[in-house]
């Protein structure tokens, strides 16, 4: 069985963490090179993810994997459990809480935009695919 979605990671992403003091000590040219390299690595990884995963999914199914969505109650329980852990960590780690709170604000805004821009378009295109038009 292949259960989806991977709620813990909705898509590909890379993160590069650099000590701020060390970053600030780099010459601007080195900062620019490092930033460009990180952006290129992330873009290449995302392109590879989008290119390879449809073929990989077809291969899984061709080899007998059955696609199954996680039940909504399982997703909700996992989501709630993860948020409980985040709250517990945030209660004892001010930096974690600050970062998590900032991410939550961003996610609310990003999901609002995604509903308008990408979700509706993607849903429309999936309907077209199911109708045999793609």
pLDDT single digits (tens) 71-99: 999 999 999 999 999 999 999 999 999 99
pTM: 0.71
Both 82 and 58 in a single domain? no
State both tokens at 79: 């989501």
Domain boundary among 36, 55, 70: 70
pLDDT band of 12, cuts 50, 70, 90: confident
Both 112 and 49 in a single domain? no
Biggest CA-to-CA distance, the chain: 57
Both 60 and 78 in a single domain? no
Both 42 and 88 in a single domain? no
Both 66 and 5 in a single domain? yes
Q: CA-CA distances (angstroms) from residue 33 to 7, 15, 28, 40, 48? A: 33, 16, 9, 10, 22
b/e map of 51-75 (b: 16 or more CB within 10 Å)? eeeeeeeeeeeeeeeeeeeeeeeee
Both 55 and 91 in a single domain? no
For residue 55, the enclosing domain spans 1-70
Number of domain units in the chain = 2
What is the average pLDDT across 42-67? Answer: 95
Residue pair 12/45 in contact (Cβ under 8 Å)? The answer is yes
pLDDT of residue 13: 78
């Amino acid at each position: 069985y292949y259960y989806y979605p991977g709620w813990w990671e909705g898509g590909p992403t890379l993160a590069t963490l650099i000590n701020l003091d060390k970053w600030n000590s780099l010459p601007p040219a080195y900062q620019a090179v490092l930033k460009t390299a990180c952006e290129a690595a992330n873009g290449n990884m995302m392109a590879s993810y989008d290119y390879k995963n449809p073929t990989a999914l077809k291969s899984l199914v061709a080899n007998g994997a059955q696609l199954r969505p996680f039940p909504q109650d399982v997703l909700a329980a996992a989501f709630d459990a993860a948020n409980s852990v985040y709250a517990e960590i945030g209660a004892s780690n001010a930096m974690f809480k600050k970062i998590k709170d900032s991410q939550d604000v961003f996610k609310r805004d990003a999901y609002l935009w995604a509903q308008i821009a990408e979700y509706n378009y993607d849903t429309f295109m999936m309907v077209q695919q199911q109708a045999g038009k793609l």
